[in-house]
A and B are shown apart, each in its own frame.
Chain A
Amino acid sequence: MHSVVCIKQVPDSAQIRVHPVTNTIMRQGVPAIINPYDLFALEEALRLKDRFGGKVTVISMGPPQAEIALRKALSFGADDAILVTDKSFAGADTLATSYALAATIRQIAKETPVDMVFAGKQTIDGDTAQVGPGIAKRMDLQLLTYVSRIVSVDQEKREIMVERRAEGGVQVLKTSLPCLITMLEGSNQMRFGTMPDMFRAARYEMKFWDKTAAGIEDVAKIGLKGSPTVVNKVFTPSPRSEKAEMIAVEGGAPADVAVALLAKMAVRFPVVEKELAKRA
Chain B
Amino acid sequence: MSEGTQVKKKRKIVLDERLQAYKGVWVFVEHERGQVHPVSWELLGEGRKLADMLGVELAGVVLAAPGEEAKGFCQEAFTYGADLCYLMQNEVLADYRNDPFTQGLTELVNTHQPEILLLGATTQGRDLAGSVATTLQTGLTADCTGLTIDPDNRSLLSTRPTFGGSLLCTIVTLNYRPQMATVRPRVMAMPEKDASRSGRIVEHSLVMAEADIVTKVLEFIADDSRDKPQLPFADIIVAGGRGLGKPENFQLVWDLAEVLGAEVGASRPVVQAGWVELDRQVGQSGKTVRPKLYIAAGISGAIQHRVGMEGADCIIAINNDPNAPIFDFAHYGIVGDAMTLLPALTEAFRQKLATLKQAG
Mark A residues whose CB is within 8 Å of B. Answer: 11, 13-14, 16-18, 23, 25, 93-95, 98, 124-134, 136-138, 142-146, 161, 163-176, 185-186, 227-240, 243-248, 252, 254-255, 257-259, 261-262, 264-265, 268-269, 271-272, 275-277, 279-280
Contacts and interface: CB of A to CB of B under 8 A. Distances in A.
B220 A170 contact: yes
A173 B215 contact: yes
B348 A262 contact: yes
Interface string B214-229: 1111111111010000
A247 B166 contact: no
Contact of A11 (B32, B140, B164, B333): B164
Contacts of B126: 129-130, 133, 145
Contact of B168 (A17, A131, A235, A255): A235
17 contacts: A14-B272, A18-B167, A25-B166, A93-B139, A129-B126, A133-B129, A137-B134, A168-B32, A168-B225, A229-B140, A230-B11, A232-B169, A237-B1, A244-B333, A275-B292, A276-B352, A277-B356
Contacts, number: 316
Contacts of B7: 233-235
Contact of B133 (A95, A230, A235): A95
Of all A-B residue pairs in the complex, the 6 with the closest CB atoms, nearest first, are A13-B164, A228-B139, A133-B130, A238-B4, A235-B6, A244-B333
A261 B174 contact: no
B124 interface: yes
B253 to A, nearest CB: 15
A167 B122 contact: yes
B316 interface: yes
B123 to A, nearest CB: 5
B173 A228 contact: yes
Contacts of B99: 142-143
Interface residues of B, number: 113
A127 B216 CA distance: 28
Summarize B's interface: helix, strand, loop or mixed: mixed
Contacts of B141: 229
Contact of B4 (A98, A143, A236, A265): A236
B292 to A, nearest CB: 5
B214 A237 contact: no
A235 B328 contact: no
Given A130-B126, A169-B33, A269-B331, 8 more contacts: A143-B127, A232-B169, A234-B169, A235-B167, A235-B169, A243-B327, A257-B344, A258-B341
Contacts of A243: 327-328, 333
B142 A129 contact: yes
B275 interface: no
Interface string B330-347: 111111100011011101
Contacts of B345: 258, 261
A146 B98 CA distance: 12
Interface in B139-157: 139-143, 157
B9 interface: yes
Contacts of A234: 6-7, 162, 167-169
Contact of B335 (A142, A146, A246): A246
Nearest to A18: B166
Given A228-B174, A233-B8, A235-B5, A172 B332 contact: no
